[in-house]
Amino acid sequence: MEHDPGKTSQQELILSGIPAAPGIAMGLAYLYSKQMPHIQMKPIPESEVESEILRLQSAIARAEKELRKILSFAEQKLGPQSAKIFEAQIMILNDQILIGTIEKRIKEELRNSEFIVFDEIGKYRRMMMSATDEYMHERAHELDDVTNRIIRCVQDQKLFSRLEGESIIVSESLAPADTVIFSRNQILGYATDLGGITSHAALLSRSLKIPAVVGLRTATKQIHTGDFIAIDGYGGIIAINPTEETIDGLNRKAQRLKEFEAKLVGIAGLPAETIDHKRYELSANIEFADEIEFAISQGSRGIGLYRTESQLIGRASFPTEDEQAQDYSTVAEGLFPHPVIFRTFDIGGDKISPEPYHEDNPFLGWRGIRVSLERPEMFLAQLRAILRASTRKNVRIMLPMVSRLTEVRRAKEYLKQAKEELKARDTPFDSKIKIGVMIEVPSAALLANEISAEVDFLSIGTNDLIQYMLAVDRGNSAVASLYQDFNPAVLRTIKMVIDGGHKQGIWVGMCGEMAGNPLATVLLVGLGLDEFSVIPSVLPEIKQIIRSIKYKDARKVADKVLTLSTEPEIREYLTTVVKARIPDIPLEEQSG
Ligand code: PEP
Ligand code: MG
């Protein structure tokens, strides 16, 4: 994925990866090779078993102490929800069954504790790595982090966490703990070989506001400590030994972005309204309750997508109805009077799975509503929990991964049952709670009209809809350039969904990443979209575009786009349209 830009700049090397956290930075690279402890299997005499176990116990105690320190630091920097991942690691250290098994094996096999720890936790790791999805791989790397921490403590090695001066960390992968520890130093950016946009390290970099590019594949082979590198977290690019020209270009880009952001200060309080007075709902996509404050400060009028499966991160079992009800109520209360749409668990696919389960094609497998309908106890508990949070009438429910009408009908039956169960318990809830469906599977898009007749709203999930329509795995960097938001087939489908919803008199929103792509805003307004739900950081930009156009002009833009038959033509046309209205707007760089 690298290219040499030409004869004039022989030393410059550009690497392309996945933009994981926005921002531009330049500085010296620090190659962080994980302190992978050296593990040897050593027999121990029976007389040393007791001291070996004591050595293990004190190592676990030290590892826990380190993690508690990281946890409290993460809580201050990231808030309690995002810091939960470290609690999960501490839970592994406190898992009496796991630790008991390790101790038993030391006694029975008469082998050293490092080896047994590595081997025993390694069993879980291998199981996770054998899953095909990226999510399980990320979790496996977190297990590595715990294993290495224990072994390092058994071997009495020091924890590395201090750096000299400002650096851009280059690493094969980064565990969340690394990201947090490094942020105590002057870190300018992160560049990793592995990882996707959903990795926790990517998520934490965004929270910590440190530019990051992941999935660079060969960064650790191409970059050495002390190399001067530039990182562009918007474009997903790393420049090694950048030329004057690249540096100037990136500096200009950073300056433009800064100036553009400065202009948007104050826009949060203004309505998302076109020049000819058509108003839009602008809301935010979030995964953790502690993102609410930021979303509101960015001008969000509510949450258009709350990914409830984030509650399952780092847990061995499903949260109880009470736990869920408490979490959802905190969110609903924190947002009141603004609305929040809780999407029921979208498990499977590239996301967390309720049980270790191997699928060759997880994206086409046991995912979202399919899991919920086959696990009625789990589904009913979640529905009751959401209902319990709805007493102030600002809560809505949304179903993921729907591909046929019967799924919607069955889900509504369960909702009815959940309401009856609460009534029988005398527990209050909003009896008129609104229910909607995500349109993210082509069959559901084709059935938009029929589905709309059964529900209160639709929300288009372009992240999945595009992958399923174009047969391009959304997480596979080898086909990333084929993943096209502006493919005419995708756009015609979006129009069909919006028209289908409107025909039945319901509103149609979009919560896929496309809703937050500034190149798409005029087009989506013109296609008749009613609501945009986007990551909080892009809210001001999208609002700025809405405020600089006329609805009647946007209609014409949409009509014109629908006559074009290739993605490059559509992009070019839309770029001209947007730049004509907001010349300094930073637009997404074309992938691939
Ligand atoms: C989508 O598919 O567009 C969507 C918003 O859902 P997720 O990204 O969580 O699959
Ligand atoms: Mg989806």
CATH of the domain at 572: 3.20.20.60
pLDDT higher at 139 or 296:
296
Q: Is the residue at 432 inside a domain?
A: no
**Domain match, 147 and 164 both:** no
Which protein residue has the closest C-alpha to ligand 1 atom 1?
Answer: 461
| Res 350: pLDDT | 62
Q: Where are the alpha helices (DSSP H) in 110-154?
A: 113-129, 134-154
Sheet holding 212-214, edge to edge: 2-3, 13-16, 237-240, 228-232, 24-32, 167-171, 187-192, 212-214, 18-21
CA 93 to chain centre: 26
Query: Do 227 and 271 share a domain, yes or no?
Result: no
In a domain? residue 387 = no
Catalytic residue among 137, 141, 153, 200: 200
Residue nearest to ligand 1 atom 5, measured at CA: 512
Is residue 296 in a domain? no
The partner residues of 307 in beta bridges, in order of sequence, read 343
511 catalytic residue (yes or no): yes
What is the phi/psi pair of residue 396, to 5°?
-130, 160
* Token pair 């690493």: residue: 171
Shared domain for 114 and 171, answered yes or no, is: no
Lowest model confidence (mean pLDDT) among 13-22, 42-51, 303-312, 335-344? 13-22
Residue nearest to atom 8 of ligand 1 (CA): 463
Is residue 16 within 8 A of residue 2, CB to CB? The reply is yes
As a whole-number percent, the residues of the chain with pLDDT over 70 amount to: 88
Q: pLDDT band at residue 2, thresholds of 50, 70 and 90? A: very low
Whether the CB of 461 sits within 6 Å of ligand 1? yes
Is 200 one of the annotated active-site residues of the chain?
Answer: yes
Q: Select from 437, 440, 508 the residue to mutate for testing ligand 1; criterion: most ligand atoms less than 8 Å from CB.
A: 440
Looking only at the bridges linking them, the beta strands covering 24-32 and 228-232 are: antiparallel
Our answer on whether the CB atom of 392 is closer than 6 Å to any ligand 1 atom is no
What's the domain range around 86?
46-154
Residue 518 included in any domain:
yes
Tokens in use for 374? Answer: 């086959």
Same domain, 128 and 146: yes
Residues 274 and 137 both lie in one domain: no
Q: Is 350 close to ligand 1, i.e. is its CB under 6 Å away?
A: no
The CATH number assigned to the domain holding 238 equals 3.50.30.10
Last residue of a domain, one of 243, 264, 287: 243
Which one has a higher pLDDT value, 502 or 307?
502
Relative to the CA of 461, which ligand 1 atom is closest? Answer: 3
**What is the pLDDT, as a whole number, of residue 591?**
41
Query: What's the pLDDT tens digit per position in 269-316?
Result: 899 999 999 999 899 988 777 778 878 888 998 999 998 987 776 566
Q: How many CA atoms lie within 13 A of 476 on its CB side?
A: 12
Mean pLDDT lowest among 162-171, 276-285, 383-392: 162-171
Closest ligand 1 atom to the C-alpha of 513?
A: 3
CATH assignment at residue 56 = 1.10.274.10
| Residue 9 pLDDT | 43
Same structural domain, 84 and 138: yes
Is 513 a domain residue? yes
Q: What CA–CA distance (Å, rounded) separates 221 from 56?
A: 35
Same domain? For 121 and 265 the reply is no
b/e map 125-144, b = 16+ CB within 10 Å? beebbebebbbbbbbbbbbb
Are 580 and 489 in a shared domain?
A: yes
At position 317, the amino acid (one-letter code) is: S
Two structure tokens written together for 348? 């499977």
Can you give the pTM of this predicted structure? 0.70
Q: Which residues contact 417 (CB under 8 A, 6 or more apart)?
A: 380
- Coil, strand or helix: which one is 15? strand
Domain edge (last residue) among 129, 154, 179: 154
Residue 202 lies in a domain: yes
Tokens of 155: 């071997």
Q: What is the pLDDT of residues 538-591, one digit of tens each?
A: 888 899 999 999 999 999 999 999 999 999 999 999 999 999 998 888 775 544
Same domain, 85 and 232: no
Of 480, 438, 484, whose CA–CA distance to 461 is shortest? 438
The H or E element spanning position 369 is: helix 369-374
User: Which ligand is the nearest neighbour of the Cα of 460?
Assistant: 1
Q: Are residues 262 and 168 in the same domain?
A: no
Structural domain count of the chain: 3
User: Is the pLDDT reported for residue 501 higher than 50?
Assistant: yes
Grouping H, G, I as helix, E, B as strand and the rest as coil, residue 124 is helix
Q: If you ran DSSP here, which 8-state letter would residue 589 be given? A: P
Q: Does residue 441 sit within a domain? A: no
What type of residue is 449?
Answer: N
| Whether pLDDT at 429 is above 90 | yes
- d(CA 413, CA 370) in angstroms, rounded, equals 15
When the pLDDT of each residue in the chain is averaged and rounded to a whole number, the result is 87
> Does residue 491 fall inside a structural domain?
yes
Distance 472 CA to ligand 1 centre (A): 15
Same domain, 486 and 590: yes
Distance CA 188, CA 426 (A): 55
Q: Which helix (H) or strand (E) holds 520?
A: none
Residue ending a domain, among 133, 154, 175, is 154
Cβ < 5 A residues, ion ligand 2: 440, 461, 464
Q: Is the CB of 463 under 6 A from ligand 1?
A: yes
Half-sphere exposure of 356 (CA within 13 A, CB side): 13
Residues 485 and 551 in one domain: yes
HSE-up of 348 (CA within 13 Å, CB side)? 22
- What are the distances in angstroms from CA 311 to CA 197, 290, 327, 384, 401? 18, 12, 9, 16, 19
The single-letter DSSP state of residue 165 is S
